[in-house]
Amino acid sequence: SSERSALRLRMAEIYRDIELFDESCDEAEAAIADDPLSAGALLFLADLYAKMGYNRRALPLYREYLILVPDDSAVRARADSLSSLAGR
């Protein structure tokens, strides 16, 4: 449900804030599983993966996010930058 997804995303944010990054990823992934159309959860996890240097994990999430929010030019620029780094 979207309500459970929102709670999981909030937990992911709390874990990130206290630098428990693996737990944060787990909660964000669960938020997406609960609501695959959660743009906020997709963006959060993509940004977290990018911050952790997991660019190959971040890029598809940015692409999924951009399907839902196509006019987000800042995220499009991030995705294009990661795509260039990956040689795609």
Q: What confidence score (pLDDT) does residue 85 get? A: 76
27 in Cβ contact with 11 (< 8 Å): yes
Q: What confidence score (pLDDT) does residue 66 get? A: 97
What radius of gyration do the chain's Cα atoms show? 12
- Which H or E run contains 78? helix 73-86
> What does pLDDT average to over the chain?
94
Q: What confidence score (pLDDT) does residue 84 get? A: 83
- pLDDT above 80: residue 69: yes
- pLDDT above 90: residue 88: no
